[in-house]
Structure 1
Amino acid sequence: MTEHHHGAGTVLPQATTVVLALLALAALQRLAARRAVRRNSGRPWPTWRTASFVTGLALIAVALVPPAPTGFPAHMAEHMLLGMYAPLTLVLAAPVTLALRALPPAGARRITAVLHSPPARLAAHPVSALLLSTGSLAVLYFTPLYNTAMSRPAGHWLMAAHFLLSGCLFAHAIAGPDPAPGRPGVPARLTCLGIAIAAHALIAQALYGGFFTDVHAPIDQVRRGAEIMYYGGDIAELLLAVALVTTWRPERRGGVRERSRTAASL
Protein backbone atom coordinates (compact mmCIF):
# COMPACT_ATOMS: atom_id res chain seq x y z
CA MET A 1 0.00 0.00 0.00
CA THR A 2 2.52 2.52 -1.06
CA GLU A 3 3.55 4.52 -4.06
CA HIS A 4 5.41 2.37 -6.59
CA HIS A 5 7.80 4.16 -8.90
CA HIS A 6 8.77 1.13 -10.99
CA GLY A 7 7.12 0.14 -14.21
CA ALA A 8 4.16 -2.18 -14.58
CA GLY A 9 6.44 -4.87 -15.99
CA THR A 10 8.15 -5.31 -12.62
CA VAL A 11 5.05 -5.17 -10.43
CA LEU A 12 3.75 -8.66 -11.20
CA PRO A 13 7.07 -10.49 -10.58
CA GLN A 14 7.52 -8.63 -7.29
CA ALA A 15 3.96 -9.40 -6.20
CA THR A 16 4.46 -13.04 -7.13
CA THR A 17 7.68 -13.17 -5.12
CA VAL A 18 5.97 -11.70 -2.05
CA VAL A 19 3.02 -14.09 -2.27
CA LEU A 20 5.25 -17.13 -2.73
CA ALA A 21 7.44 -16.11 0.18
CA LEU A 22 4.42 -15.66 2.46
CA LEU A 23 2.96 -19.01 1.40
CA ALA A 24 6.31 -20.67 2.09
CA LEU A 25 6.37 -19.16 5.58
CA ALA A 26 2.82 -20.38 6.24
CA ALA A 27 3.77 -23.89 5.09
CA LEU A 28 6.93 -23.82 7.23
CA GLN A 29 4.94 -22.81 10.29
CA ARG A 30 2.45 -25.60 9.69
CA LEU A 31 5.23 -28.14 9.29
CA ALA A 32 6.91 -26.92 12.48
CA ALA A 33 3.62 -27.19 14.38
CA ARG A 34 3.19 -30.80 13.28
CA ARG A 35 6.74 -31.68 14.27
CA ALA A 36 6.26 -29.97 17.63
CA VAL A 37 3.23 -32.16 18.28
CA ARG A 38 5.20 -35.32 17.46
CA ARG A 39 8.21 -34.30 19.54
CA ASN A 40 6.07 -33.39 22.58
CA SER A 41 4.06 -36.59 22.98
CA GLY A 42 1.07 -35.35 21.04
CA ARG A 43 0.76 -32.09 22.93
CA PRO A 44 -1.01 -29.81 20.43
CA TRP A 45 0.33 -26.48 19.29
CA PRO A 46 -2.35 -23.86 20.08
CA THR A 47 -4.57 -23.23 17.07
CA TRP A 48 -4.89 -19.57 17.96
CA ARG A 49 -1.15 -19.11 17.63
CA THR A 50 -1.24 -20.54 14.12
CA ALA A 51 -4.17 -18.24 13.33
CA SER A 52 -2.19 -15.29 14.68
CA PHE A 53 0.76 -16.15 12.44
CA VAL A 54 -1.43 -16.49 9.35
CA THR A 55 -3.12 -13.18 10.18
CA GLY A 56 0.27 -11.49 10.30
CA LEU A 57 1.18 -12.91 6.90
CA ALA A 58 -2.15 -11.72 5.49
CA LEU A 59 -1.51 -8.19 6.79
CA ILE A 60 1.89 -8.20 5.09
CA ALA A 61 0.25 -9.27 1.85
CA VAL A 62 -2.30 -6.45 2.08
CA ALA A 63 0.52 -3.97 2.59
CA LEU A 64 2.87 -5.18 -0.13
CA VAL A 65 0.91 -6.87 -2.89
CA PRO A 66 -0.36 -4.46 -5.58
CA PRO A 67 -2.57 -3.05 -6.91
CA ALA A 68 -2.69 -0.51 -4.12
CA PRO A 69 -3.40 3.18 -3.60
CA THR A 70 -0.54 5.61 -4.01
CA GLY A 71 0.56 8.69 -2.13
CA PHE A 72 1.54 9.50 1.41
CA PRO A 73 -1.66 8.21 3.10
CA ALA A 74 -1.09 4.82 1.46
CA HIS A 75 2.53 4.88 2.63
CA MET A 76 1.40 5.55 6.19
CA ALA A 77 -1.18 2.77 6.02
CA GLU A 78 1.62 0.46 4.90
CA HIS A 79 3.72 1.66 7.81
CA MET A 80 0.91 0.85 10.24
CA LEU A 81 0.40 -2.63 8.81
CA LEU A 82 4.06 -3.58 8.48
CA GLY A 83 5.44 -1.76 11.50
CA MET A 84 2.73 -2.29 14.11
CA TYR A 85 -0.16 -4.62 13.32
CA ALA A 86 1.56 -7.48 11.48
CA PRO A 87 4.47 -7.59 13.98
CA LEU A 88 2.10 -7.92 16.93
CA THR A 89 0.27 -10.89 15.41
CA LEU A 90 3.50 -12.55 14.28
CA VAL A 91 5.13 -12.14 17.69
CA LEU A 92 2.07 -13.47 19.54
CA ALA A 93 2.35 -16.59 17.38
CA ALA A 94 5.52 -17.41 19.41
CA PRO A 95 7.67 -18.55 16.46
CA VAL A 96 10.81 -19.02 18.55
CA THR A 97 9.00 -21.20 21.07
CA LEU A 98 7.59 -23.23 18.19
CA ALA A 99 11.09 -23.69 16.76
CA LEU A 100 12.42 -24.81 20.14
CA ARG A 101 9.68 -27.43 20.37
CA ALA A 102 9.98 -28.59 16.76
CA LEU A 103 13.75 -28.84 16.38
CA PRO A 104 15.93 -31.67 17.68
CA PRO A 105 17.89 -30.90 20.86
CA ALA A 106 21.03 -29.80 19.00
CA GLY A 107 19.10 -27.25 16.95
CA ALA A 108 17.23 -25.99 20.00
CA ARG A 109 20.50 -25.52 21.86
CA ARG A 110 21.89 -23.46 18.99
CA ILE A 111 18.84 -21.17 19.07
CA THR A 112 19.16 -20.85 22.85
CA ALA A 113 22.82 -19.92 22.50
CA VAL A 114 21.92 -17.20 20.00
CA LEU A 115 19.23 -15.84 22.32
CA HIS A 116 21.77 -15.59 25.15
CA SER A 117 24.46 -13.93 23.02
CA PRO A 118 25.29 -10.29 23.83
CA PRO A 119 24.15 -8.94 20.41
CA ALA A 120 20.79 -10.69 20.69
CA ARG A 121 20.27 -9.52 24.26
CA LEU A 122 21.11 -5.96 23.24
CA ALA A 123 18.84 -5.99 20.18
CA ALA A 124 15.93 -7.49 22.16
CA HIS A 125 16.15 -4.89 24.92
CA PRO A 126 13.11 -2.57 24.88
CA VAL A 127 15.27 0.56 24.67
CA SER A 128 17.17 -0.73 21.63
CA ALA A 129 13.93 -1.84 19.99
CA LEU A 130 12.36 1.54 20.73
CA LEU A 131 15.23 3.39 19.04
CA LEU A 132 15.15 1.12 15.99
CA SER A 133 11.38 1.29 15.51
CA THR A 134 10.02 4.59 16.78
CA GLY A 135 13.29 6.50 16.79
CA SER A 136 13.91 5.78 13.14
CA LEU A 137 10.64 7.51 12.21
CA ALA A 138 12.08 10.88 13.18
CA VAL A 139 15.06 10.24 10.90
CA LEU A 140 12.74 9.12 8.11
CA TYR A 141 10.35 12.07 8.14
CA PHE A 142 12.56 14.89 9.46
CA THR A 143 15.35 14.35 6.93
CA PRO A 144 15.38 13.78 3.14
CA LEU A 145 15.54 10.01 3.74
CA TYR A 146 11.84 9.40 2.99
CA ASN A 147 11.98 11.23 -0.34
CA THR A 148 15.18 9.42 -1.30
CA ALA A 149 13.80 6.01 -0.38
CA MET A 150 10.51 6.53 -2.22
CA SER A 151 12.29 7.59 -5.40
CA ARG A 152 13.74 4.09 -5.88
CA PRO A 153 12.11 0.64 -5.80
CA ALA A 154 14.96 -0.73 -3.70
CA GLY A 155 14.47 2.09 -1.22
CA HIS A 156 10.81 1.21 -0.83
CA TRP A 157 11.56 -2.46 -0.17
CA LEU A 158 14.32 -1.66 2.30
CA MET A 159 12.00 0.71 4.14
CA ALA A 160 9.26 -1.93 4.23
CA ALA A 161 11.72 -4.52 5.58
CA HIS A 162 12.87 -2.08 8.26
CA PHE A 163 9.29 -1.38 9.33
CA LEU A 164 8.52 -5.08 9.65
CA LEU A 165 11.72 -6.22 11.36
CA SER A 166 11.96 -3.31 13.80
CA GLY A 167 8.24 -3.63 14.56
CA CYS A 168 8.65 -7.33 15.34
CA LEU A 169 11.64 -6.55 17.54
CA PHE A 170 9.69 -3.92 19.51
CA ALA A 171 6.60 -6.12 19.91
CA HIS A 172 8.83 -8.98 21.10
CA ALA A 173 10.72 -6.75 23.52
CA ILE A 174 7.51 -5.39 25.04
CA ALA A 175 5.06 -8.29 25.05
CA GLY A 176 6.54 -11.29 23.26
CA PRO A 177 5.76 -14.73 24.73
CA ASP A 178 9.03 -16.13 23.38
CA PRO A 179 12.13 -16.44 25.59
CA ALA A 180 13.95 -13.13 25.96
CA PRO A 181 17.02 -13.41 28.21
CA GLY A 182 17.81 -10.12 29.87
CA ARG A 183 14.43 -8.55 29.16
CA PRO A 184 13.57 -6.09 31.98
CA GLY A 185 10.44 -6.26 34.07
CA VAL A 186 7.00 -4.92 33.30
CA PRO A 187 7.57 -1.37 34.68
CA ALA A 188 10.53 -0.79 32.33
CA ARG A 189 8.62 -2.19 29.37
CA LEU A 190 5.59 -0.05 30.14
CA THR A 191 7.86 2.98 30.30
CA CYS A 192 9.26 2.22 26.85
CA LEU A 193 5.77 1.68 25.50
CA GLY A 194 4.68 5.01 26.96
CA ILE A 195 7.62 6.74 25.30
CA ALA A 196 6.71 5.11 21.99
CA ILE A 197 3.11 6.31 22.30
CA ALA A 198 4.23 9.87 23.04
CA ALA A 199 6.81 9.86 20.23
CA HIS A 200 4.30 8.58 17.69
CA ALA A 201 1.86 11.29 18.69
CA LEU A 202 4.48 14.03 18.46
CA ILE A 203 5.72 12.88 15.05
CA ALA A 204 2.16 12.65 13.74
CA GLN A 205 1.40 16.16 15.01
CA ALA A 206 4.59 17.50 13.44
CA LEU A 207 3.60 15.92 10.11
CA TYR A 208 0.11 17.37 10.33
CA GLY A 209 1.38 20.84 11.12
CA GLY A 210 4.35 20.70 8.75
CA PHE A 211 6.88 21.30 11.53
CA PHE A 212 10.46 20.19 10.86
CA THR A 213 9.28 17.56 8.38
CA ASP A 214 10.73 16.88 4.93
CA VAL A 215 8.06 14.97 2.98
CA HIS A 216 7.56 15.83 -0.68
CA ALA A 217 3.80 15.32 -0.99
CA PRO A 218 0.69 17.53 -1.19
CA ILE A 219 -0.28 19.06 2.14
CA ASP A 220 -3.66 17.34 2.22
CA GLN A 221 -2.00 13.96 1.68
CA VAL A 222 0.53 14.58 4.43
CA ARG A 223 -2.24 15.54 6.82
CA ARG A 224 -4.29 12.44 6.01
CA GLY A 225 -1.19 10.35 6.51
CA ALA A 226 -0.55 12.04 9.85
CA GLU A 227 -4.10 11.24 10.95
CA ILE A 228 -3.61 7.59 10.01
CA MET A 229 -0.41 7.52 12.03
CA TYR A 230 -1.99 9.25 15.03
CA TYR A 231 -5.15 7.17 15.35
CA GLY A 232 -3.83 3.94 13.87
CA GLY A 233 -0.78 4.08 16.10
CA ASP A 234 -2.92 4.60 19.21
CA ILE A 235 -4.98 1.51 18.45
CA ALA A 236 -1.92 -0.63 17.74
CA GLU A 237 -0.15 0.50 20.90
CA LEU A 238 -3.28 -0.15 22.96
CA LEU A 239 -3.34 -3.70 21.57
CA LEU A 240 0.34 -4.06 22.45
CA ALA A 241 -0.38 -2.93 26.01
CA VAL A 242 -3.17 -5.50 26.26
CA ALA A 243 -0.78 -8.15 24.97
CA LEU A 244 1.77 -7.15 27.60
CA VAL A 245 -0.77 -7.59 30.37
CA THR A 246 -2.10 -10.90 29.07
CA THR A 247 1.33 -12.46 28.42
CA TRP A 248 2.90 -11.27 31.67
CA ARG A 249 3.90 -13.95 34.16
CA PRO A 250 5.21 -13.39 37.69
CA GLU A 251 8.97 -13.71 38.05
CA ARG A 252 10.20 -17.00 39.45
CA ARG A 253 13.41 -17.86 41.21
CA GLY A 254 16.07 -19.03 38.86
CA GLY A 255 16.34 -15.91 36.73
CA VAL A 256 16.69 -16.04 32.99
CA ARG A 257 16.98 -19.79 32.76
CA GLU A 258 13.69 -20.30 34.59
CA ARG A 259 11.95 -17.66 32.46
CA SER A 260 13.24 -19.31 29.31
CA ARG A 261 11.89 -22.69 30.39
CA THR A 262 8.55 -21.14 31.23
CA ALA A 263 8.29 -19.42 27.84
CA ALA A 264 9.38 -22.56 26.00
CA SER A 265 6.56 -24.50 27.63
CA LEU A 266 3.85 -22.22 26.24
Structure 2
Amino acid sequence: MRAGATVILAHAGHAAGGFPATALVPVAAFWAYLAAALRLRDPGGPGWAHGRTASFGLGTLLVTAGLLRPADDFVGHMWQHLLIGMLAPLALILGAPVTLLLRTLDRRAGRRLVHLLRHPVARVLGHPVTGLLLTAGGLWLLYLTPLYRATLDRPVLHTLVQAHFLLSGCLFAWSIAGPDPGPHRPRVPVRLVVLGVGVAAHATIAQLLYAGVLVDVPATGAELRAGATLMYYLGDLAEIALALALLATWRPKRPAHRPAGSTPVSA
Protein backbone atom coordinates (compact mmCIF):
# COMPACT_ATOMS: atom_id res chain seq x y z
CA MET A 1 0.00 0.00 0.00
CA ARG A 2 2.87 2.33 0.76
CA ALA A 3 4.32 1.55 -2.66
CA GLY A 4 1.00 2.38 -4.30
CA ALA A 5 0.76 5.68 -2.42
CA THR A 6 4.30 6.50 -3.45
CA VAL A 7 3.46 5.89 -7.11
CA ILE A 8 0.35 8.09 -6.86
CA LEU A 9 2.27 10.90 -5.19
CA ALA A 10 5.06 10.67 -7.73
CA HIS A 11 2.54 10.77 -10.58
CA ALA A 12 0.80 13.78 -9.02
CA GLY A 13 4.11 15.55 -8.56
CA HIS A 14 5.04 14.86 -12.18
CA ALA A 15 1.70 16.22 -13.42
CA ALA A 16 2.07 19.33 -11.32
CA GLY A 17 5.63 19.80 -12.51
CA GLY A 18 4.50 19.31 -16.13
CA PHE A 19 2.51 22.56 -16.10
CA PRO A 20 4.86 25.53 -16.36
CA ALA A 21 3.90 28.42 -14.12
CA THR A 22 5.17 30.75 -16.86
CA ALA A 23 2.11 29.78 -18.93
CA LEU A 24 0.00 31.87 -16.54
CA VAL A 25 1.89 35.06 -17.48
CA PRO A 26 0.38 35.51 -20.98
CA VAL A 27 -3.07 34.67 -19.59
CA ALA A 28 -2.70 37.40 -16.96
CA ALA A 29 -1.39 39.82 -19.61
CA PHE A 30 -4.47 39.25 -21.77
CA TRP A 31 -6.88 39.80 -18.87
CA ALA A 32 -5.11 43.04 -17.98
CA TYR A 33 -5.28 44.13 -21.64
CA LEU A 34 -8.95 43.18 -21.87
CA ALA A 35 -9.80 45.08 -18.68
CA ALA A 36 -8.14 48.22 -20.08
CA ALA A 37 -9.89 47.82 -23.44
CA LEU A 38 -13.29 47.40 -21.79
CA ARG A 39 -12.61 50.49 -19.70
CA LEU A 40 -12.18 52.52 -22.89
CA ARG A 41 -15.41 51.09 -24.25
CA ASP A 42 -17.45 52.37 -21.33
CA PRO A 43 -20.26 54.79 -22.25
CA GLY A 44 -18.67 58.08 -23.18
CA GLY A 45 -15.25 56.50 -23.60
CA PRO A 46 -13.10 56.84 -26.74
CA GLY A 47 -13.56 53.17 -27.59
CA TRP A 48 -11.06 50.53 -28.62
CA ALA A 49 -10.94 48.47 -31.81
CA HIS A 50 -12.06 44.85 -31.49
CA GLY A 51 -9.43 43.85 -34.03
CA ARG A 52 -6.61 45.02 -31.79
CA THR A 53 -8.02 43.10 -28.84
CA ALA A 54 -8.36 39.97 -30.98
CA SER A 55 -4.79 40.36 -32.24
CA PHE A 56 -3.35 40.70 -28.75
CA GLY A 57 -5.46 37.76 -27.57
CA LEU A 58 -4.10 35.65 -30.45
CA GLY A 59 -0.57 36.61 -29.46
CA THR A 60 -1.06 35.55 -25.84
CA LEU A 61 -2.68 32.32 -27.04
CA LEU A 62 0.35 31.53 -29.22
CA VAL A 63 2.72 32.24 -26.32
CA THR A 64 0.69 29.98 -24.03
CA ALA A 65 0.63 27.22 -26.65
CA GLY A 66 4.39 27.50 -27.02
CA LEU A 67 4.97 27.28 -23.27
CA LEU A 68 2.68 24.27 -22.96
CA ARG A 69 4.15 22.51 -26.00
CA PRO A 70 6.43 19.69 -24.83
CA ALA A 71 10.06 20.17 -25.82
CA ASP A 72 11.10 16.54 -25.48
CA ASP A 73 13.18 16.71 -28.65
CA PHE A 74 14.57 19.28 -31.06
CA VAL A 75 11.35 19.39 -33.10
CA GLY A 76 9.37 20.29 -29.98
CA HIS A 77 11.95 22.95 -29.15
CA MET A 78 11.61 24.43 -32.63
CA TRP A 79 7.82 24.58 -32.31
CA GLN A 80 8.31 26.50 -29.06
CA HIS A 81 10.69 28.94 -30.72
CA LEU A 82 8.41 29.56 -33.70
CA LEU A 83 5.30 30.08 -31.56
CA ILE A 84 6.95 32.23 -28.88
CA GLY A 85 9.68 34.05 -30.80
CA MET A 86 8.27 34.55 -34.31
CA LEU A 87 4.50 34.11 -34.60
CA ALA A 88 3.32 35.57 -31.27
CA PRO A 89 5.31 38.85 -31.34
CA LEU A 90 3.63 40.21 -34.48
CA ALA A 91 0.15 39.48 -33.11
CA LEU A 92 1.06 41.09 -29.80
CA ILE A 93 2.44 44.32 -31.24
CA LEU A 94 -0.49 44.69 -33.67
CA GLY A 95 -2.65 44.85 -30.55
CA ALA A 96 -0.99 48.24 -29.84
CA PRO A 97 -0.56 47.62 -26.08
CA VAL A 98 1.47 50.81 -25.53
CA THR A 99 -1.25 52.95 -27.12
CA LEU A 100 -3.82 51.25 -24.90
CA LEU A 101 -1.66 51.90 -21.86
CA LEU A 102 -1.26 55.58 -22.76
CA ARG A 103 -5.01 55.98 -23.08
CA THR A 104 -5.73 54.44 -19.69
CA LEU A 105 -2.94 56.05 -17.64
CA ASP A 106 -3.44 59.36 -15.89
CA ARG A 107 -1.87 62.42 -17.51
CA ARG A 108 1.26 62.53 -15.34
CA ALA A 109 2.08 58.85 -15.80
CA GLY A 110 1.36 59.17 -19.51
CA ARG A 111 3.87 62.02 -19.84
CA ARG A 112 6.51 59.96 -18.08
CA LEU A 113 5.95 57.05 -20.44
CA VAL A 114 6.15 59.31 -23.51
CA HIS A 115 9.35 60.87 -22.14
CA LEU A 116 10.78 57.37 -21.66
CA LEU A 117 9.90 56.42 -25.24
CA ARG A 118 11.75 59.51 -26.50
CA HIS A 119 14.90 58.75 -24.52
CA PRO A 120 18.08 58.19 -26.61
CA VAL A 121 18.36 54.66 -25.23
CA ALA A 122 14.85 53.92 -26.47
CA ARG A 123 15.88 55.26 -29.89
CA VAL A 124 18.75 52.77 -30.04
CA LEU A 125 16.66 49.87 -28.75
CA GLY A 126 13.82 50.74 -31.12
CA HIS A 127 16.01 50.65 -34.23
CA PRO A 128 15.34 47.66 -36.53
CA VAL A 129 19.04 46.76 -36.63
CA THR A 130 19.05 46.35 -32.84
CA GLY A 131 16.04 44.05 -33.05
CA LEU A 132 17.71 42.08 -35.84
CA LEU A 133 20.90 41.60 -33.83
CA LEU A 134 18.93 40.40 -30.81
CA THR A 135 16.67 37.98 -32.71
CA ALA A 136 18.83 36.56 -35.49
CA GLY A 137 22.03 36.97 -33.49
CA GLY A 138 20.41 35.17 -30.58
CA LEU A 139 19.59 32.21 -32.84
CA TRP A 140 23.14 31.93 -34.11
CA LEU A 141 24.45 32.11 -30.55
CA LEU A 142 21.97 29.47 -29.39
CA TYR A 143 22.72 26.85 -32.02
CA LEU A 144 26.38 27.48 -32.86
CA THR A 145 27.59 27.50 -29.24
CA PRO A 146 26.99 25.15 -26.26
CA LEU A 147 24.12 27.39 -25.11
CA TYR A 148 21.36 25.15 -26.47
CA ARG A 149 22.96 22.10 -24.86
CA ALA A 150 23.10 23.99 -21.55
CA THR A 151 19.37 24.83 -21.67
CA LEU A 152 18.54 21.11 -21.72
CA ASP A 153 19.89 20.65 -18.18
CA ARG A 154 19.00 24.05 -16.72
CA PRO A 155 15.26 24.88 -16.72
CA VAL A 156 15.89 28.43 -15.52
CA LEU A 157 18.25 29.08 -18.43
CA HIS A 158 15.70 27.59 -20.82
CA THR A 159 13.06 29.98 -19.47
CA LEU A 160 15.44 32.93 -19.85
CA VAL A 161 16.13 31.97 -23.48
CA GLN A 162 12.39 31.79 -24.16
CA ALA A 163 11.91 35.22 -22.57
CA HIS A 164 14.74 36.61 -24.69
CA PHE A 165 13.21 35.44 -27.95
CA LEU A 166 9.75 36.68 -26.97
CA LEU A 167 10.96 40.14 -25.97
CA SER A 168 13.45 40.51 -28.83
CA GLY A 169 10.82 39.26 -31.28
CA CYS A 170 8.37 41.88 -30.01
CA LEU A 171 11.05 44.55 -30.22
CA PHE A 172 11.93 43.60 -33.80
CA ALA A 173 8.28 43.41 -34.92
CA TRP A 174 7.55 46.77 -33.24
CA SER A 175 10.56 48.44 -34.87
CA ILE A 176 9.49 47.16 -38.29
CA ALA A 177 5.70 47.57 -38.28
CA GLY A 178 4.48 48.48 -34.80
CA PRO A 179 1.45 50.81 -34.62
CA ASP A 180 2.46 52.09 -31.17
CA PRO A 181 4.21 55.45 -30.74
CA GLY A 182 7.94 55.40 -30.25
CA PRO A 183 11.25 56.83 -31.42
CA HIS A 184 11.50 57.97 -35.02
CA ARG A 185 11.79 54.89 -37.22
CA PRO A 186 13.87 54.65 -40.40
CA ARG A 187 12.08 54.97 -43.74
CA VAL A 188 10.08 51.97 -44.97
CA PRO A 189 12.63 50.94 -47.64
CA VAL A 190 15.32 50.78 -44.94
CA ARG A 191 13.12 48.65 -42.72
CA LEU A 192 12.39 46.31 -45.65
CA VAL A 193 16.12 45.88 -46.22
CA VAL A 194 16.67 45.03 -42.54
CA LEU A 195 13.80 42.55 -42.70
CA GLY A 196 15.37 40.99 -45.80
CA VAL A 197 18.65 40.54 -43.93
CA GLY A 198 16.69 38.88 -41.14
CA VAL A 199 15.08 36.46 -43.64
CA ALA A 200 18.52 35.56 -45.00
CA ALA A 201 19.95 35.07 -41.49
CA HIS A 202 17.09 32.73 -40.50
CA ALA A 203 17.34 30.81 -43.77
CA THR A 204 21.09 30.34 -43.34
CA ILE A 205 20.88 28.99 -39.80
CA ALA A 206 18.04 26.69 -40.92
CA GLN A 207 20.24 25.31 -43.71
CA LEU A 208 23.13 24.77 -41.30
CA LEU A 209 20.81 22.88 -38.96
CA TYR A 210 19.45 20.80 -41.84
CA ALA A 211 22.97 19.83 -42.89
CA GLY A 212 24.19 19.42 -39.31
CA VAL A 213 27.16 21.67 -40.06
CA LEU A 214 28.79 23.94 -37.44
CA VAL A 215 25.82 23.57 -35.06
CA ASP A 216 26.07 22.26 -31.49
CA VAL A 217 22.71 20.55 -31.09
CA PRO A 218 22.49 17.09 -29.50
CA ALA A 219 19.85 15.61 -31.81
CA THR A 220 19.58 12.94 -34.47
CA GLY A 221 19.92 13.83 -38.13
CA ALA A 222 16.20 13.26 -38.67
CA GLU A 223 15.32 15.62 -35.80
CA LEU A 224 17.67 18.28 -37.11
CA ARG A 225 16.18 18.08 -40.59
CA ALA A 226 12.60 18.18 -39.28
CA GLY A 227 13.32 21.13 -36.97
CA ALA A 228 15.21 23.00 -39.68
CA THR A 229 12.34 22.49 -42.14
CA LEU A 230 9.91 23.98 -39.62
CA MET A 231 12.19 26.97 -39.09
CA TYR A 232 12.67 27.51 -42.81
CA TYR A 233 9.03 27.43 -43.92
CA LEU A 234 7.07 28.64 -40.88
CA GLY A 235 9.74 31.27 -40.20
CA ASP A 236 9.26 32.54 -43.75
CA LEU A 237 5.50 32.78 -43.18
CA ALA A 238 6.05 34.84 -40.02
CA GLU A 239 8.44 37.18 -41.84
CA ILE A 240 6.10 37.55 -44.83
CA ALA A 241 3.29 38.47 -42.42
CA LEU A 242 5.58 41.07 -40.84
CA ALA A 243 6.41 42.52 -44.27
CA LEU A 244 2.71 42.71 -45.16
CA ALA A 245 2.00 44.48 -41.85
CA LEU A 246 4.72 47.00 -42.71
CA LEU A 247 3.45 47.59 -46.25
CA ALA A 248 -0.09 48.04 -44.93
CA THR A 249 1.10 51.09 -42.98
CA TRP A 250 3.21 52.56 -45.80
CA ARG A 251 1.98 55.90 -47.06
CA PRO A 252 4.43 57.08 -49.75
CA LYS A 253 4.90 60.83 -49.85
CA ARG A 254 3.26 62.48 -52.83
CA PRO A 255 5.01 65.29 -54.70
CA ALA A 256 3.75 68.76 -53.89
CA HIS A 257 1.02 69.91 -56.25
CA ARG A 258 2.08 72.74 -58.55
CA PRO A 259 -0.53 75.06 -60.03
CA ALA A 260 -1.16 74.61 -63.74
CA GLY A 261 0.90 76.87 -65.97
CA SER A 262 3.55 77.56 -63.34
CA THR A 263 7.20 76.96 -64.15
CA PRO A 264 9.93 75.97 -61.72
CA VAL A 265 12.17 78.77 -60.60
CA SER A 266 15.76 78.24 -61.71
CA ALA A 267 18.65 79.27 -59.53
- TM score, norm. by length of structure 2: 0.86
Alignment-derived partner of residue 159 in structure 1: 161
| Superposition deviation, residue 250 in structure 1 | 5.1
Q: Secondary structure at the match of 1:107?
A: helix
Distance 1:222 1:148 in 2: 17
Larger Rg: 2
5 Å matches for 1:28-177? 28-37=32-41, 41-65=44-68, 68=70, 70-177=72-179
Distance 2:54 2:41 in 1: 17
- Rate the CA distance shift 1:11–1:125 in 2: closer, same or farther, 3 A: farther
**Pairing 1:9–2:13 present:** yes
| Superposition deviation, residue 135 in structure 1 | 1.3
Distance 1:132 1:11 in 2: 34
- Stretches of structure 2 lacking an aligned partner (at least 5 in a row): 1-10, 255-267
| Superposition deviation, residue 19 in structure 1 | 4.0
Between Structure 1 and Structure 2, how many residues are aligned?
Answer: 244
- Rate the CA distance shift 1:59–1:93 in 2: closer, same or farther, 3 A: same
Q: Secondary structure at the match of 1:42?
A: coil
Distance 2:68 2:136 in 1: 25
Q: Is residue 75–residue 223 contact of structure 2 (8 Å, CA) maintained in 1?
A: yes
Distance 2:235 2:22 in 1: 25
- Rate the CA distance shift 1:8–1:176 in 2: closer, same or farther, 3 A: farther
| Superposition deviation, residue 107 in structure 1 | 1.3
**Percent of matched pairs sharing the same residue:** 49
Distance 1:180 1:167 in 2: 16
**Pairing 1:20–2:28 present:** no
- Stretches of structure 1 lacking an aligned partner (at least 5 in a row): 1-6, 253-266
Q: Which amino acid aligns with 2:173?
A: A
Distance 1:140 1:9 in 2: 31
5 Å matches for 1:171-186? 171-186=173-188
| Superposition deviation, residue 227 in structure 1 | 0.4
Q: Which amino acid aligns with 2:188?
A: V
Alignment-derived partner of residue 208 in structure 2: 206
5 Å matches for 1:231-242? 231-242=233-244
Q: Which amino acid aligns with 1:47?
A: H
| Superposition deviation, residue 179 in structure 1 | 0.9
**Pairing 1:218–2:237 present:** no
The answer to which structure, 1 or 2, has the higher relative contact order (CA under 8 A, 6+ apart) is: 1
- Rate the CA distance shift 1:251–1:167 in 2: closer, same or farther, 3 A: farther
Distance 1:105 1:38 in 2: 19
Q: Is residue 176–residue 247 contact of structure 1 (8 Å, CA) maintained in 2?
A: no
Distance 1:16 1:201 in 2: 31
Q: Which amino acid aligns with 1:127?
A: V
- TM score, norm. by length of structure 1: 0.86
Q: Is residue 126–residue 173 contact of structure 1 (8 Å, CA) maintained in 2?
A: yes
